[in-house]
Amino acid sequence: MKVSIAKIKSKAAMAVDFTFTETIHAADYGYDDFVVAGLASVSGKIVNLGLGVDNSGQYQADIHYQTEIELICSRCVKPFTIPVEGALCAQFVDGAPDESDGEADIFSIEKDHADIAAVVLSEIFFTLPMQPLCREDCKGLCPKCGVDLNVNSCSCERVAIDPRWEKLKSLLPTED
């Protein structure tokens, strides 16, 4: 998903539109927390903002994306897919961006091409849930025997209370 900026490089305020529907391999960009399942639809435009203070070309990309990602449930350890969609604005500069000021949203133009997939994957990564769940009521795995509690039940005892917390049990209302 690389967009050529060669046609707009010489004049400020010029723009190039783009539309892609293709596979993105997240692992190729260093992301192993998720897999892009199926095709990703990405569209938008890149505008030449002119020269920056360091005489490097600066570009703004307005991007809309829609796809599905595959995650691993943090309770039952089964893969599941969720739809993801979003719109974002990203900055591109000729050459390597100066990362000394902590701007992680600035991407580099390499050989007159802006890598839109890198921007989309970065955005998806930062919107991932910390503990992905296949469904809200996922029961997970039994910590003793490992059975998937969504599918089967087990006879393992689950009432083990840490003795240090036993006193707090007296604060709970009793069921009569």
Cβ-in-10-Å burial (0-12, 13-18, 19+) of 147 comes to: middle
Based on DSSP, count helices (H) and strands (E) in the chain, helices before strands: 1, 7
Does 117 map to a domain? yes
The answer to whether residue 143 is domain-embedded is no
- Judge whether 167 lies within some domain: no
Q: How far apart are the first and last CA of the chain?
A: 64
Look at residue 176 and tell me whether its pLDDT is greater than 90.
no
Confirm whether 93 is domain-assigned: yes
pLDDT at 55 > cutoff 70: no
Looking at the domain assignment, is residue 17 inside a domain?
Answer: yes
User: Residue 119 sits in which domain range?
Assistant: 2-126
Question: Is 136 part of a structural domain of the chain?
Answer: no
> How many domains does the chain divide into?
1
pLDDT at residue 53, as a whole number: 55
Q: What is the pLDDT, as a whole number, of residue 99?
A: 59
Cα separation of 101 and 53, whole Å? 15
pLDDT at position 152 is 93
How much is the pTM?
A: 0.80
Say if 157 falls within a structural domain.
Answer: no
Q: Once rounded to an integer, what is the mean pLDDT over residues 87-92?
A: 94
Confidence band for 165, pLDDT divided at 50, 70 and 90: confident
Query: For position 10, what pLDDT does the model report?
Result: 84
Which letter, b or e, does each residue of 66-101 get, where b requires 16 or more Cβ atoms within 10 Å of its Cβ? bbebebebebbeeebbeebeeeeebbbbbeebeeee
Backbone angles phi, psi at 131, to 5 degrees: -125, 90
**pLDDT for the residue 171:** 84
pLDDT digits (tens, 9 = 90+) for 27-50: 999 999 999 999 999 999 999 998
User: Could you tell me which residue, 155 or 71, shows the higher pLDDT?
Assistant: 71
